[in-house]
Amino acid sequence: MIATLNKPVYRGCFTLVYAYGLRIGEVLTLPVTAVDSKQLLLRVIGKGNKERALPLTESMLDMLRKVWQTHRSKRWLFPSQRIVTPLSYATARNAFVKARSECSFDRQFRPHSLRHSFATHLLERGVDIRIIQILLGHSSIRSTEIYTHLSEPLREDLRRLLHQTTEGLFEGRRPHHG
């Protein structure tokens, strides 16, 4: 879906939402100074005005530079057409809805769904939930647990683990651990 966003500012904005599990509001207000290319960090101001420093990959830094070169705003990573103000939520959402329609995605798929996908994909790769909590900027692990619905790959892993730990229990055989 991100590939169907034609304007680099829109594509870059939603790439960051997905790649870092950011809230759309966090991305829209990112100043150019949020990017620390020397330390490879992206500094994000989240809920409660709390800052979190996220590790910036070379490919994300390269993407941000390419987006910036299309507008050269001195202040905003994702500016509006006027350049002096950040991209508005309504404009970003309209671009998202248009891309969603082009992909024939369900109306339930919203910008925040990208944040859910980010968390789910990290869980599927075995990343500890406490790390995901930090990346999402949650002060409570309970907030992060909302994102941990069982996806099919996680169910399959769990099924395999349960098979290994329970096989033969009823018959009195000892389960194998592998």
Q: Which of 112, 155, 159, 160 is catalytic?
A: 112
Q: Containing H/E element for 42?
A: strand 41-45
Q: Is 163 a catalytic residue?
A: no
User: Is the CB of residue 23 less than 8 Å from the CB of residue 115?
Assistant: yes
Q: Is 65 a catalytic residue?
A: no
Q: Which of 10, 11, 20, 115 is catalytic?
A: 115
- Structure token digits, residue 161: 């683990």
Q: Is 10 a catalytic residue?
A: no
Helix (H/G/I), strand (E/B), else coil: 144: helix
Rg (CA), the chain: 20
Helix (H/G/I), strand (E/B), else coil: 26: helix
Q: Which residue has the tokens 């909302």?
A: 146
Alpha-carbon torsion, ordered 130, 131, 133, 135, to 10 deg: 170
Q: Which of 7, 23, 52, 71 is catalytic?
A: 23
Q: Is 47 a catalytic residue?
A: yes
Q: Is 11 a catalytic residue?
A: no
Q: Which of 10, 11, 20, 138 is catalytic?
A: 138
Q: Is 147 a catalytic residue?
A: yes
Q: Which of 47, 65, 159, 163 is catalytic?
A: 47
- Structure token digits, residue 94: 């309209």
- Structure token digits, residue 107: 């109306």
Active site residues: 23, 47, 112, 115, 138, 147
